[in-house]
Amino acid sequence: MAFIFGKTSADNLLGTSGNDTIVGWASGGNANSTSGNDTLNGADGNDSLAGGTANDSLSGGNGNDTLDGGTGNDTLIGGAGNDTFISSQDNDSINGGDGIDTADYSQLNQTITLSGFGTIEKAGKFGQDQLFRVEKVIANPNVANNTIDASQSLAEVSITVNLQTQSLAASNVPGLGRLSFTAVNFDNVKGTNGNDSIVGDRQNNRLSGNNGNDTLDGGLGADTLSGGAGDDTYIIDSTTDTITEAADSGTDTVLSSVTYTLGANLENLRLTGTSAINATGNSLNNILIGTNLSSNTLNGRAGDDSIIGGSGDDILNGEDGDDRLRSGLDNDRLNGGSGDDVFISVFTGGFPGGNLLPPGLGETDTLTGGTGADRFILGDFISVFYDDNNTVNPGFGDFATITDFDSSQDQIQLKGSSLDYRLEVIGNNTRIFLDKPGAEPDEIISVVLGRNNLTLDSDDFLFNYELEIPGKGTNNSLLTAEVLGSLSSGSNVNASGQIATVQPGDNPDFDFYNFSLANSGTVTIRTVTSGDSVLGLFNDTGTLVQSDDDSGGNNSSLITSSLSAGTYSISVSKFPFLPEDGGTFSGSSSRPDFSYTLEVSVA
C-alpha cells in the first residue's frame, strides 16, 4: 500500500500493486492505478485518471477531467468541470458532479441500453453502470441496437427524443421538472407511459411509444414503429417503414408523404407533402385525408369510412361500408361502392359564413353512388353548391354529374325549397337548375344521368336537411352536426366529444351542435375541459353571434347570450381557432387533443 502525492506542476503518478491512494495537485496530470483497490484524486486542473483491474475510486476534483475506471466495480466522481468518463467492463458508479459531463462507451465494442433511471446495461455480460448527473452518453457507432429504454419511468414522466439531433429530454420528472441530455449513436427508443415524441435518424430504427398518446417519426431508413396503447401519430416517409399496432389500443393516425395502405388496427391516414400519392384504408372505420397540393386517389376499403380530398383532381372510392366522401377544389370523381353513402364534392372554406369561395366554383365533379341508399348533397342551409353567382350565364362551367341515381333509395339534398329550383329533361337525363330572379339566367347545379322522371316534390329530393361543415369532428360523424333538439326555458342538455390534435399545416378540428329555440330566452353555453377550448355561437344565416375562449376558467369557455326564437349552431374547437377563420394551422408545433363536456341551458 502506498500514498502518492503530486506536486504543483503536471505530474504522472503510477500506483503499485497494492491498495494505493494517489492525490494530484493544482496543475493537472496523469494518475494510473495498477492491480489494487486504489483511490485516485485529481484535485485542481485537467486530470487524466485511470483505474486498474480492481475496484477503484476515482475523483477528478476541479477541472475538465478524464476518468477511466478500468475493469472492476469502480466509483467515478467528476467534481466540478466538464468531465469525461471512459466506460469499461463490470459495474461502475459514475457521478458527473457540476458541469456538462459525458459517459463515453464508444470504445466498449458492446451494445448498450440507457434506462429512464440512469442505468447503462452493457451487453456481453459486461455489467451495468449507474449514472448520476451525466448530461451526455456516447454509444459505439459500430455496434447495432443501442437503445434508449424509458419504459420503466414513473407514470407522470414523458420523453422527447430526436436521434437526428442526438437530443433526449425527460419531462415531469418528480422534483426536477425537465431534464435534457445528449444521446449519441443510439438506434432504438422505447417510450414511457406518457405522451412521448420520438424521431429516428438514417438508421433502421425501432421506435416504441409504449402507453400514452405518442408521436413516432422514423426519419430515413426502414423503420419499425409501435405506438402501444393510446392515440398515437405515426409519420411515414418510406414504403419500407413498418407500423405495429394491437387491437383496441386507441385511435391512431398515420401522416404519410408516400403512397400508403393502413395496416391492421390503424384508424386514420392523412397524406402530406406535394407529390401525387395515394391512400388506402383497411377494414376499420377509417378517416382518409388527401393533400391540398396534388391529386390523390383515396380508397376506403371495408368499414364506414370518412374520405376527404383536398385540391387537385382527386378520386375518392368508398368501396364497402356506409361511407362519407368529401372532395375539395378542382374536378373530382367520387365513387361510393356498396353501402349507404353520403357525397359532398365541393370545398366550403370556413364555417359558418366564412366561405373563401362559392362552393363548387369552377368544378365539374362526377358522383357515382353504387349500391345502397346514397345521399348527394348539393347544398346546405348556408349555400347552394355550384352557384357561381354569375348573373350573365347559366354556369355550365361548374356542376355535378350524378351517374347512377336510383329513385327507389337515393336522394339529392338542396338548399331552400322545391320552389327555388326547376328541372329540365334532355333525352334520358335531367338537369337541375337554381331558379334565378327576373331575366337572370338560371344556374345549373347538377346533371342526373339516365333519369327523366324526377320531380322536385318527390322523395328524390331533400331540402335544408343537413348542416354541412368542414373539418374532422368526432361526435358529428365528420359531416353532420350533433342535434341538441328544440330547447325552451328550463332546458338543460349535455353532450361530450373530443377535439383532435392539430399538426402544423392541418385544418383545425371542430365539433358542431345545432339547436332550435322555441321562444326567446337567455342561453348559457359552457365547455368543461382540461384543454384550451374555444366556443362559437352562430345564427341560422351563419353569422357569428358570440365567441369565447377562457371565461369558463381553467381553459374552459363560457357564453351567455339573450337570443330570439330561431335555429342556432355551436362550434367547439381548440384555441385560437374559430370556424369562420378558415385556412390551416400555421404554428410550428402541434396542439394536443382534449376531451370536453358541453353544457347548454336556457333561462
Per-residue pLDDT at 355: 40
For residue 111, give the nearest of 185, 168, 53 by alpha carbon. 185
Quickly tell me which residue has 342526373 as its cell: 448
DSSP 124: T
DSSP for 238-279? -TT-EEE--TTS---EEEESS-EE--TT--EEEE-SSS---E
Per-residue pLDDT at 276: 94
Per-residue pLDDT at 484: 77
Per-residue pLDDT at 471: 37
Per-residue pLDDT at 10: 46
Quickly tell me which residue has 338548399 as its cell: 415
Taking the C-alpha atoms of residue 108 and residue 115, their distance in angstroms, rounded to an integer, is: 18
Per-residue pLDDT at 6: 42
Question: Could you write out the three-class secondary structure of 518-581?
Answer: CCCEEEEEEEEECCCEEEEEEECCCCEEEEECCCCECCECEEEEEECCEEEEEEEEECCCCHHH
Per-residue pLDDT at 572: 86
Helices (H) and strands (E) in the chain, counts: 0, 55
User: In the structure grid, which three cell numbers stand for residue 260, read together?
Assistant: 400508403
Taking the C-alpha atoms of residue 241 and residue 236, their distance in angstroms, rounded to an integer, is: 7
Per-residue pLDDT at 311: 85
Per-residue pLDDT at 569: 83
Per-residue pLDDT at 177: 93
User: In the structure grid, which three cell numbers stand for residue 304, read together?
Assistant: 364506414
69 to 26, 53, 66, 78, 93: CA distances (angstroms): 22, 8, 10, 12, 10
Indicate the residue type of 100: I
Q: Enumerate residue ranges in the chain where pLDDT < 70.
A: 1-36, 348-357, 381-382, 464-483, 502-508, 541-542, 551-555, 577-591
The string of pLDDT tens digits covering residues 493-505 is 888 777 777 666 6
Per-residue pLDDT at 357: 63
**What is 482-602's CATH number?**
2.60.120.380
Could you tell me the residue ranges of all domains in the chain?
Answer: 1-107, 354-468, 482-602
Taking the C-alpha atoms of residue 33 and residue 50, their distance in angstroms, rounded to an integer, is: 6
